Amino acid sequence: MLNIITNPHPALRQKAKEVDLEEIPKLHQFLNDMAKIMLKKDGIGLAANQVDILKRIIIVNTKDGPLALINPKLLRKSFKKEEAEEGCLSVPDVFGMVKRNYSLTVKAYTKDGQEISIKATGLFARVLQHEVDHINGILFIDKAKNITKGKPRDEQDKL
């Protein structure tokens, strides 16, 4: 089982490295383990930095289950932005309002090495921006306003 590291662990502040495409078939166990721990912790997203692996890999929970995105790139970010409350599995019990682009397109490789492009809006776009920040060494508390500490509310999303 993987462990989720928490702030101020130095791996949360490093820029993760691109994954070589030949390496993707060897990552299946790791991707499954990441999905497993994300679901166990009720997360809706998880970046490899959060389990102390500095590779450009994120997992997002979708209506069809966890989706692994390798070397994700965020394109066509909307001019429109939206502010909403965020939390993070690596910054426990801290919440804050973060302004994010309302919609964007993510280009990435799947666990099968297929290149995909998905348009995301709202919460899905927010999760993608939060997770791509992680693989760039950025935490939501760097961008958040009105930071509060305390017990999370039931409906809080953990990213």
Catalytic status, residue 131: yes
Q: Measured between alpha carbons, how far is 48 from 56 in angstroms, rounded to an integer? A: 7
| 94 makes contact with Zn ion (CB under 5 A) | no
Catalytic option among 82, 86, 115, 131: 131
| 159 makes contact with Zn ion (CB under 5 A) | yes
DSSP class of residue 56? S
Torsion angle (degrees, nearest 10) of CA 129, 135, 141, 142: -90
Select the span of 15-23, 70-78, 85-93, 109-117 touching Zn ion (CB under 5 A). Answer: 85-93
Of 104 and 144, nearer to Zn ion (C-beta) is 144
Q: Report, in Å, the least distance between residue 122 CB and Zn ion.
A: 18
Q: Report, in Å, the least distance between residue 131 CB and Zn ion.
A: 7
| 16 makes contact with Zn ion (CB under 5 A) | no
Closest Cα to residue 133, out of 12, 2, 21, 17? 12
DSSP class of residue 5? -
Q: Measured between alpha carbons, how far is 113 from 31 in angstroms, rounded to an integer? A: 13
Q: What angle do CA 108, 113, 118 make, to 5 degrees?
A: 30
Q: CB–CB of 45/57 below 8 Å?
A: no
Q: How many of the chain's residues bind Zn ion (CB under 5 A)?
A: 2
Candidate residues 16, 88, 94, 127; the one interacting with Zn ion per rule CB under 5 A: 88
Q: Measured between alpha carbons, how far is 17 from 141 in angstroms, rounded to an integer? A: 23
Three-state secondary-structure class, residue 24: helix
| 60 makes contact with Zn ion (CB under 5 A) | no
Of 34 and 88, nearer to Zn ion (C-beta) is 88
Select the span of 12-20, 73-81, 87-95, 145-153 touching Zn ion (CB under 5 A). Answer: 87-95
Residues taking part in catalysis: 131
Binding site for Zn ion (CB under 5 A): 88, 159
